[in-house]
Amino acid sequence: MDAIEEWTQAQARVVGLVRGLGTGQAGTAVPACPDWTVRDLVSHVVGANVDVLVGQEPDEHDPAWTQSHVDRRAGRGIGALLAEWEPLTGPMRAWIGEHGTRPVNDVVVHEQDLRGALGVPGARDTPALAALRERFAGRVAAAVDDAGLPPLALVGETWRTGPADAAVVVSASDFDLARAVLSRRSAGQLRSWTTRGDVDPYLSCFAVLGPLPEDDLVE
């Protein structure tokens, strides 16, 4: 994965997705981030990059840090948020080249959150999303191991992880599994995709980025 180009392309896609949204659409609730609207989520994405560039990104993206991005930009419209973000493209490309891929994760995850809220699917087979799926599937597997549970298998259309003889198998689309390991699918959805065994003891292992959504997320 070319992290610099993946971040740049994701930023461009998000800008194209939200530029020109009216107040009503900007106020649309984001099911994957239920405390935020589209405008709030864009505020966080912009604010996170500002903080990264000044060295104020914590090791863990705790709720106080993420909410601070929204609070500091209260009252700003989408146009003003993009006017703050777009000049950061060059500095962010340089930062990623020097420091690593972490900022790619945030924008790629939240691009799909925004697409889900706005009903505009896309960018489901990018190298960045594939890399995130692999990385966070590893985190789910580590949580399974820490819980003392037998290994779990995730089986998609073209991607899979876990042993063939796993006691529990969850089968879904490559995209749904990517979202599942990012804590973006409900317990009900995981149960419905289980083709072998009982997934219930494993549900907490999928909560690597926070609690699983109460309602099904269909994107």
- For CA atoms 64, 67, 72, 75, the dihedral sign is negative
Cβ neighbours around 210 below 10 Å, total: 12
In this predicted model, what pLDDT tens digit does every residue of 113-157 receive, in sequence order?
Answer: 999 999 999 999 999 999 999 999 999 999 999 999 999 999 999
In this predicted model, what pLDDT tens digit does every residue of 45-75 receive, in sequence order?
Answer: 999 999 999 998 887 788 999 999 999 999 9
| Exposure letters 163-177 (e unless 16+ CB within 10 A, then b) | eeebebbbbbebbbb
Shared domain for 17 and 103, answered yes or no, is yes
Q: Is residue 216 part of a domain?
A: no
Q: At what angle do helices 102-118 and 89-99 cross, to 10 degrees?
A: 130
Which of 82, 101, 118 delimits the end of a domain?
Answer: 118
Which of 118, 148, 169 delimits the end of a domain?
Answer: 118
Shared domain for 13 and 98, answered yes or no, is yes
Classify the phi-psi angles of 100: left when phi > 0, otherwise alpha if psi is within -120 to 50, otherwise beta.
Answer: left
Cα–Cα distance measured from residue 166 to residue 174, given in angstroms and rounded to the nearest whole number: 18
> What is the model's pLDDT at position 1?
84
Q: What share of the chain is helix, strand, coil (3-state, %, to 5)?
A: 60, 10, 30
Hey, is 154 helix, strand or coil?
A: strand
Write out the residue range of the structural domain in which residue 184 sits.
Answer: 127-206
Q: Where does the pLDDT of residue 166 fall: very low under 50, low under 70, confident under 90, or very high at 90 and above?
A: very high
> What is the model's pLDDT at position 25?
97
Radius of gyration, CA atoms only, the chain:
18
> What percentage of the chain reaches a pLDDT higher than 90?
96
Tally of structural domains, the chain? 2
Shared domain for 60 and 78, answered yes or no, is yes
> What is the model's pLDDT at position 139?
98
